[in-house]
């Protein structure tokens, strides 16, 4: 029987889950979350919210990722979209690689200092280890993808086009909004941690409300919230 991760905390698990969800899911600062919790009659310091997110954010994300990875591996992974975007950390350019499936599910987020074949190879192997081999991999014209896929032996699956990779490029927008709210990242490790947690939380609550009717959206939003309230239970 696993130990209760909340056993040393006086605050209820419901409040901790709510604070972590508010900070990761929405473009809010730690002090914004503190103020919103205060309006609900919950008196906590913003540093407490920081501690909760660092302690429980990766734990919640890992549970979400494990459940969703099991489902995705059972499905036919017919197309992935890969893209990379630069992120400045203390004035130094780093690269955030992202893999997205054909339905917009963020599969993997990985931070590197370079954008070469070695970085692309490590990123691809990490994604394929968790989700298996896709039938088609859509990329931009970065030569590192082709070089890495030659090493793996699936360069024939690469598809390059002018507008084919919009799905992966658009997937960067939620993290960019969070980056502005957080006044950028100061460490590579912090960026990797937040990108991984944010991707899992975004996947969990991404209901694509723009293509579904209101009743479907409300029903599935309640299901997503109910599943969130059971994390680490």
Question: DSSP character for 79?
Answer: E
Specify whether 156 is located in the same domain as 80.
yes
- Long-range contacts made by residues 178-183, C-beta under 8 angstroms, separation at least 24? 178/27, 179/87, 180/27, 181/27, 181/28, 181/29, 182/29
On whether both 123 and 179 belong to a single domain, the answer is yes
Higher pLDDT pick, 144 / 102: 144
Q: For 109-162, how does the pLDDT look when each residue is reduced to its tens digit (9 = 90+)?
A: 999 999 999 999 999 999 999 888 889 999 999 999 999 999 999 999 999 977
Beta bridge partners of 100: 81, 106
Expressed as residue numbers, the domain containing 46 is 13-72+207-228
pTM: 0.87
CA–CA separation, 95 vs 192, rounded Å? 10
pLDDT confidence tier of residue 1, bands split at 50, 70 and 90: very low
The pLDDT assigned to 132 comes to: 85
Q: Are residues 112 and 58 in the same domain?
A: no
Domain count, the chain: 2
Residue 210, both tokens: 């723009």
pLDDT: which is higher, 143 or 182: 143
Across the strands, what pairs with 108? 99
88 with 150, same domain?
A: yes
45-81 per-position pLDDT tens digit: 999 999 999 999 999 999 999 888 877 777 766 789 9
């Amino acid at each position: 029987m696993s130990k209760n991760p909340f056993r040393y905390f006086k605050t209820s698990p419901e409040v901790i889950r709510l604070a972590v969800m508010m900070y990761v899911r929405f473009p809010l600062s730690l002090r914004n979350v503190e103020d919103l919790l205060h309006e609900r009659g919950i008196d906590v310091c913003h540093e407490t919210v920081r501690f909760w997110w660092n302690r429980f954010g990766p734990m919640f994300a890992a549970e979400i990722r494990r459940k969703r990875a099991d489902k995705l591996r059972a499905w036919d992974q017919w197309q992935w979209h890969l893209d990379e975007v630069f992120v400045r950390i203390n004035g130094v350019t780093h690269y955030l690689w992202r893999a997205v499936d054909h339905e917009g599910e963020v599969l993997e987020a990985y931070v590197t200092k370079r954008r070469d074949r070695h970085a692309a190879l490590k990123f691809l192997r990490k994604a394929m280890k968790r989700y298996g081999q896709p039938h088609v991999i859509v990329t931009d014209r970065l030569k590192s993808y082709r070089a890495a896929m030659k090493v793996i032996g699936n360069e024939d699956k690469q598809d390059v086009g002018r507008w084919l990779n919009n799905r992966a490029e658009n997937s960067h927008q939620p993290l960019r909004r969070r980056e502005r709210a957080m006044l950028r990242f100061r460490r590579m490790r912090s960026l990797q941690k937040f990108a991984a947690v944010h991707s899992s939380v975004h996947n969990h609550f991404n209901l694509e409300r723009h293509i579904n009717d209101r009743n479907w959206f409300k029903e599935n939003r309640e299901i997503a919230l109910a599943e969130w309230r059971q994390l680490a239970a």
